[in-house]
Each structure stands twice: as structure tokens, then as C-alpha cells.
Amino acid sequence: MSAAIEPEVVAVYERTDYTLTKFHMQSFFDPETAIFYEIIPNSKSENGSSNDDEIYDAVFIILGSGHTGALDVLGEDGPWASHYYQHGVAQDIAREGYVTYVIELRGYGERAIDAGSGCKADDLICSSVLAAKKLGSLGISMNDLRTDEITQILAWIDSRPYTNNIAVAGLSLGGSLALDQAIVNADVIDAVVIASGISSKLHSPLSMGASGRDMTHCCDVSDYAVTIAPMPAYVSYGLKDTETLWEVDTTHTANMMADAYDLHNQSENFWYVVHEGGHVYDTESVLDFLKTHISN
């Protein structure tokens, strides 16, 4: 992993249970400015550390698709609040004593791209899709750019004197990007949470590079997922999630991953959860997983 780039503090917000800090970081590979947030809890819980010793286990959340953006994950009010589906999961995690980070993905939220008349006003992903297609025509992958920024921020998180174990988490697109981080930065990441983010019908962002000159385009997300064993991994799907219901019905990915963990004799490190909800986190089981696998 490359050396950490020091970000700029943009704003600090004092909340009842935590301190929320917004950062800007210059992207290493282009003129864009990455945006991310840090939540530091104000008091000790059974799962984390206190401000007295300033050592925390950390959770880095990569948001899912849509202009709801980081505010959705943070549980902060925003212009797309009626469309929120990540429901302030960062708050729930921080209140358990973890220092929590949230990236504003390129193309979404505050970093949304104005597509003019090319998209309907209420379309949550259209402008980002159009931008990705335009970049692709230039030989540039939107997900490569996102992965580069996530890796930059992860390097900074790892360099903090107050972070200990690090988990990366994501829902939907964020889950697929979290999987990629677990693969390419396994020396830094201690556990991964992937909610509705793995499907054998989809290709991993790692296999969607612009060049297409290697063999990774022949693999789907499930093929990549097995390679993270025996790293502690949480994979979930919702029974009301029509986008990934095929995975629930066939247990295709779950079986592949379970076999991989069995080969390492560490089946306890693989958590497979099917919940009653839709395209959302099952927060209670996520917190149980974090408590088991990264808490001091």
C-alpha cells in the first residue's frame, strides 16, 4: 500500500454521541478531490475503546449506488432523504465504540455529476452511469478511479495512531468494492462486511477495467470472493431484495465461499446471513460479526 496522503479538515460537527469530521483529500491519480468522513465516538461501549486511551477498532464504509450518498450512510439529513436505504448504519456502528469512516463515492452524493437533460431529475444513478460510459470511451474505468481513492483513504486510516483492527464494509456496489479491497489490501484489512454485494451474475469491479487485456473479465464476483478466505467475512442478502434473490435461492456464492473457508479449517470466519429485509443492511448481525472478529 502506498504512503498515506494527509487530508484537509473541512468541517467538524459535534453530535450527542460522537464527533463527525469531514475531510477532503487530493486524489493521487487525477485532479479530483476525494471526500470522506470520520466518526469518533464520545464514550466507551462494550465493543470499543474509550477516548482515554484513544485506540479504536475501525470500520470503513463504502456506500452503495445512488445520489443519497454519504449522508444516507451517516444518518444526516439531505436532499435525497426520502430515498435513503443505508439508514445511518455508520451511526449505529460508531455508537458501539468503533471509529467509523465513510467515503463519498465519485459520481454520487456531493460528487454527483450534472447530466443535464440526459437524466430524469429523480433518477438516483443515471448521471453516474452516463459519466462511467463517457470515461470508458476514453479508456478509463470509473470503478478503477473509485478503487484508487478508497485505497488512498484506507492507507490514511491505517496510519492513524488511534486505529487498531480495520474492517471494510459495503452495501450493493459498496459491498463489491469492499470485496475488492479485501483482495488487494489483505495486509491492512482484518475483516470485510458485504451486504447484497456479491452475485455470480455480475462482474467484480476488479474485472471491469477499461483495457480488457487480461483474463479477469472472465471471472464473476463469486470467483473473486473465494480468494479472501480465511479472512473473516460477512455476506448477507435480503429475502425482499429482488436484485440478489437468485443468490438466496441457489446459495451459489455462499456454498463456494463456505467450501473455501472449510479448506482453511476456519469455517467460523465465514458468516452467511439471510434476513427478512430488502436491499439493506441487517444491522444487528453486522454488529455481532464486528464484535466477534475485530473488537479488542
Residue tagged 493521487 (cell numbers):
28
Q: Is residue 264 part of a domain?
A: yes
How high is the pLDDT of residue 115? 75
Cβ neighbours, 10 Å, residue 268 = 11
Provide the β-strand partners of residue 237: 274
How high is the pLDDT of residue 211? 37
**What is the CATH number for 160?**
3.40.50.1820
* Domain that residue 101 falls in: 8-293
Q: Is residue 1 part of a domain?
A: no
Q: Is the CB of residue 96 less than 8 Å from the CB of residue 61?
A: no
Q: Is residue 2 part of a domain?
A: no
How high is the pLDDT of residue 220? 73
- Low-confidence stretches of the chain (pLDDT < 50) are 44-50, 204-216
The structural domain count of the chain equals 1
Q: Is residue 173 part of a domain?
A: yes
Q: Is residue 3 part of a domain?
A: no
Q: Is residue 204 part of a domain?
A: yes
How high is the pLDDT of residue 32? 86
Q: Which helix (H) or strand (E) holds 24?
A: strand 18-26
Q: Is residue 247 part of a domain?
A: yes
Here the cell at position 33 is 478531490
How high is the pLDDT of residue 127? 83
DSSP 112: B
**Length of the chain measured in residues:** 296
In angstroms, rounded to a whole number, what is the distance separating the alpha carbons of residues 163 and 55?
6
